[in-house]
Amino acid sequence: MTRFEVDHPEILEAVRRALAEDIGPGDITSEACVPLNVRAAGRFIAREPLVVAGVELLPLIYQQRGGVEEVRLETASGEAVEPGRTLARVRGLARTLLECERVALNFLQRLSGIATLARRFAQAVEGTNCRVLDTRKTTPGLRRLEKMATAAGGISNHRMGLYDAVLIKNNHIVAAGGIREAILRARRLARPIEVEVRTHQEIEQALECGVARLLLDNFTPEQAAAEVRFIAGRAQVEISGGITLENVRAYAETGADFVSTGAVTHSARAVDINFRLEMT
């Protein structure tokens, strides 16, 4: 299981913004219908098989609103659960539980959906020497959380952003005037270089320049397998472009070191989690 580290400033800000967006100056329905000092308990319950992610955000959500004396996590990120499983329990002011309900569910459903899909990708390549990577195709402002969710599901994080790895892509090559020119300029950073290649000729050029890793973009499994044999360990190989649950195994069996997919974040379905309020 993977425990979320929720004290990062980006995560604190994401939670703060989510609460402000939903509650604004106040939950007028709860304030009108529920007496101020009424107390209640609530449970977050899985309504389908899923992999939990983001449950560790719940204490942070309720701490920001106050009036809740207990948040008990009964699962952790990375845990696979069946329908009917209680993920967490909360107890405190009914108004607080009601006003935080949607924000809490939005995070849990979205992040657990990503983790659940990530687990399916990880399981699809079991028995190969290939690892599945996520990408930067994430919801703006939620990248750190969504990448934590992919890790909870069992796949590996690629670079967090443009600042922490050198990846020369097609448009960099165009802007630099060619693969060799782009690589020569990137060498000034004295960091490992990965280059996106789309043809056999580009693979040859990148290998001649001694790059550490090649990103084969939009190759068929058969084409990728032939190129992996040609590369023959001279560089690590990542495959990307059109990777789905249906074909990821075929790509993993080419002998590539990695396959990367944006689908795990941009196309993950929010899973079904229910919040059930109980009066105390």
Largest CA distance in the chain: 73
**What predicted TM-score, i.e. pTM, was given to this entire model?**
0.95
Cα angle 195, 169, 128; round to 5: 55
| Angstrom distance (rounded) from CA 22 to CA 85 | 27
The residue among 183, 143, 139 whose CA lies nearest residue 159 is 143
Taken as a whole, the chain contains a residue count of 280
User: What percent of the chain lies above the pLDDT cut of 90?
Assistant: 97
Is the confidence at residue 3, as pLDDT, over 70?
no
Model confidence at 4, in pLDDT bands (50, 70, 90)? low
Q: Answer yes or no: is pLDDT of 233 > 90.
A: yes
On average, the pLDDT of the chain sits at: 96
End-to-end Cα separation, the chain, in angstroms:
32
Q: Among 148, 121, 160, 134, which Cα is nearest to 54's?
A: 148
Dump pLDDT digits (tens) for 9-27. Answer: 999 999 999 999 999 999 9
For the chain, percent of residues with pLDDT exceeding 70: 99
Give the list of residues 6+ apart from residue 135 with CB closer than 8 angstroms, or none.
158, 240, 260, 261, 262, 265
Over the stretch 100-155, which tens digit does the pLDDT of each residue have?
999 999 999 999 999 999 999 999 999 999 999 999 999 999 999 999 999 999 99
β-bridge mates for residue 90, sequence order? 42, 71
Whether 256 has a pLDDT exceeding 80, the answer reads: yes
Give the catalytic positions in this structure.
102, 137, 169, 196, 217
Residue 84 in tokens:
């009917």
Q: Which two tokens stand for residue 27?
A: 């939950």
Query: What are the chain's domains?
Result: 9-122+268-279 (3.90.1170.20), 124-266 (3.20.20.70)
Condensed to tens digits (0 to 9), the pLDDT of residues 174-183 reads 999 999 999 9
pLDDT category, 1, cuts 50, 70, 90? very low
Residues with Cβ within 8 Å of 13's Cβ and at least 6 positions away in sequence, in order, are none
| Whole-Å CA distances, 24 to 18, 116, 149, 181 | 10, 31, 27, 52
Q: Which is nearest to 35 in space by CA: 91, 102, 94?
A: 94
pLDDT for residue 6 = 85
